[in-house]
């Protein structure tokens, strides 16, 4: 009888756990639940801000109450002409695949009258003020300019995060982190410091990865918890858990290759080869742009631009397809397929001005005007179709 009771208790525990995971979303009755059967009809009839989620996802559960509040304030306000929806990707996986959902939660804005493959992916902070500002921007609603005071722009923040006893646990609790555990007196740590800062700067516009450091002479208990026995110790941490210790070369190139492997799932030798060879091909049909020539390059015709980082795994996977796409338009004076390396110092301001918050970010421009961000499938056919749809009726290839 005892084994049977243990099995019963285990089943009850699992049931309770699952109920807790989905409870937050079950309690959300304000946002509109969309399915494969209703999705297209809904976005054809209204502007929609949609969360694609999975009930078991910790970040989704954390966002759920805020999303419900946003829905409460928007779905009953006819003056805004926007609806807040949600799609459960565990029950509508095909729909999520069609929308190129590769992580949870994914937030997208679907504009009325615009094709779903031109939806805008939200990449900002997950609070009500940020959501409301994003919605106003998408709807073309200007801020109330009657206020006399104007908020100062945020001061630049160093991309290298210095952790303390108060910030460490919260900072590493979610997401991907490459952390340097060091001591100020350590010669190897001092030698690594500028390279570590350079690595952080090269990741400045990728919000999915954090480069940080913690001083073990000040916060010894934290270093003890992570079994730090020498300096510097470099650990890859995901969602609060140590994944592995980095023991390779500490050159900038090798560290970037390691980040590419961990972030993009590439083999280390493949990542190293692609990072080192990123700038060796001088026969590419893709136009390499930079800050000084960018504006001039996009002034005429259609320009499809990939903003990337050489170490980025997703960028590496897209690279051969991007090259094939460029080859299809060789000889055309109507279309340019281009790319911008956001890790280069000369392009930092450009990538910031173009709202590049992750890699790769792909925008299409026509006659100097940014039209939209591309968030569709990254197949050659889909990319080619997207470009040709943005040619004017008088443009012919």
Name the least confident of 49-58, 190-199, 232-241, 351-360. 351-360
Check if 312 is active-site.
yes
Residue 316 has pLDDT above 80, yes or no: yes
pLDDT: which is higher, 16 or 241: 241
Q: Of 60, 96, 216, 315, which one is the catalytic site residue? A: 315
pLDDT of residue 315: 86
pLDDT of residue 162: 92
Check if 315 is active-site.
yes
The arithmetic mean of pLDDT across residues 80-91, rounded, is: 90
Residue 217 CB partners (closer than 8 Å, separation 6+)? 183, 184, 185
pLDDT of residue 136: 86
Angstrom CA distances, 35 to 49, 63, 96, 122, stand at 14, 20, 10, 20
Check if 57 is active-site.
no
Question: What percent of the chain clears pLDDT 90, i.e. is strictly above it?
Answer: 41
pLDDT: which is higher, 140 or 34: 34
pLDDT of residue 208: 73
pLDDT of residue 370: 92
- Mean predicted lDDT score pLDDT of the chain: 81
Rounded Cα distance between 132 and 129, Å, is 5
The arithmetic mean of pLDDT across residues 52-71, rounded, is: 89
Question: What percent of the chain clears pLDDT 70, i.e. is strictly above it?
Answer: 81
Residue 20 has pLDDT above 50, yes or no: no
pLDDT in tens, 236-287: 999 889 999 998 889 888 898 888 888 764 444 444 444 444 444 446 789 9
pLDDT of residue 277: 43
* Confidence at 392, pLDDT banded by 50, 70, 90: low
Residue 35 has pLDDT above 50, yes or no: yes
Residue pair 23/67 in contact by the 8 Å Cβ criterion: no
Domains plus CATH for the chain?
Answer: 32-139 (3.40.30.10), 161-263 (3.40.30.10), 287-390 (3.40.30.10)
Residue pair 183/215 in contact by the 8 Å Cβ criterion: yes
* Confidence at 17, pLDDT banded by 50, 70, 90: very low
Residue 239 CB neighbour total at 10 angstroms:
13
Q: Of 216, 312, 342, 351, which one is the catalytic site residue? A: 312
* Confidence at 4, pLDDT banded by 50, 70, 90: low
Name the least confident of 59-68, 98-107, 371-380. 98-107
Residue 147 has pLDDT above 90, yes or no: no
What 3 state SS string does the chain have? CHHHHHHHHHHHHHHHHHHHHHHHHHCCCCCEECCCCCHHHHHHHCEEEEEEECCCCHHHHHHHHHHHHHHHHHCCCCCCCEEEEEEECCCCHHHHHHCCCCCCCEEEEECCCCCHHHCEECCCCCCHHHHHHHHHHHHCCCCCCCCCCCCCCCCCCCCEEEECCCCHHHHHCCCEEEEEEECCCCHHHHHHHHHHHHHHHHCCCCCCEEEEEEECCCCHHHHHHCCCCCCCEEEEEECCEEEEEECCCCCHHHHHHHHHHHHHCCCHHHHHHHHHCCCCCCCCCCEEECHHHHHHHHCCCEEEEEEECCCCHHHHHHHHHHHHHHHHCCCCCCEEEEEEECCCHHHHHHHHHCCCCCCCEEEEEECCEEEEECCCCCCHHHHHHHHHHCCCCCCCC
Q: Of 189, 223, 342, 351, which one is the catalytic site residue? A: 189
pLDDT of residue 7: 47
pLDDT of residue 206: 67
pLDDT of residue 216: 94
Give strand pairing partners of 49. Answer: 84, 109
The arithmetic mean of pLDDT across residues 228-234, rounded, is: 93
Name the least confident of 269-278, 299-308, 319-328, 366-375. 269-278
- List b or e across 369-395, with b for residues whose CB sees 16 or more CB atoms inside 10 angstroms: eeebbbbbebebeebbebbeebbeeee
């Amino acid at each position: 009888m005892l084994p049977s009771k243990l099995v019963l208790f285990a089943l009850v525990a699992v049931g309770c756990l699952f109920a807790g995971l989905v409870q937050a979303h079950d309690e959300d009755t304000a946002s509109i639940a969309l399915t494969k059967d209703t999705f297209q009809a809904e976005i054809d009839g209204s502007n929609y801000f949609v969360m694609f989620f999975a009930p078991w996802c910790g970040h989704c559960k954390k966002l759920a109450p805020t999303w419900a509040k946003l829905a409460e304030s928007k779905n009953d306000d006819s003056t805004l002409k926007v609806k807040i929806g949600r799609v459960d990707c565990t029950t509508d996986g095909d729909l999520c695949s069609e929308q190129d959902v590769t992580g949870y939660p994914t937030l997208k804005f679907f504009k009325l009258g615009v094709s779903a493959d031109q939806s805008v992916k939200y990449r900002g902070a997950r609070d009500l003020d940020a959501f409301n500002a994003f919605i106003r921007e998408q709807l073309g609603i200007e801020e109330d300019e009657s206020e006399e005071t104007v908020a100062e722009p945020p001061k630049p923040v160093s991309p290298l995060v210095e952790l303390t006893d108060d910030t460490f646990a919260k900072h590493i609790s979610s997401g991907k982190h490459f952390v340097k555990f060091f001591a100020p007196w350590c010669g190897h740590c001092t030698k690594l410091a500028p390279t570590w800062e350079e690595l952080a700067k090269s990741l400045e516009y990728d919000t999915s990865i954090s480069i940080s450091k913690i001083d073990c002479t000040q916060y010894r208990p934290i270093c003890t918890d992570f079994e730090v026995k020498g300096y510097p110790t470099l650990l890859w941490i995901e969602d609060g858990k140590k994944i592995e210790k980095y023991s390779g070369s500490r050159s900038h190139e090798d560290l970037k290759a390691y980040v590419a492997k961990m972030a993009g799932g590439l083999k280390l030798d493949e990542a190293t080869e692609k990072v080192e060879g990123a700038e060796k091909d001088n026969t590419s049909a893709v136009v390499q742009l930079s800050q000084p020539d960018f504006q001039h390059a996009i002034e005429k015709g259609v320009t499809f631009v990939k903003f990337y980082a050489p170490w980025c795994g997703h960028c590496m996977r897209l690279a051969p397809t991007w090259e094939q796409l460029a080859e299809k338009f060789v000889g055309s004076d109507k279309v340019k397929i281009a790319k911008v390396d956001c890790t280069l110092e000369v392009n930092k301001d450009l990538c910031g001005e173009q709202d590049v918050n992750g890699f790769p970010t792909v925008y299409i421009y026509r006659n100097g005007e940014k039209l939209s961000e591309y968030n569709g499938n990254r197949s050659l056919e889909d990319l080619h179709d997207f470009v040709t749809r943005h040619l004017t009726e008088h443009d012919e290839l």
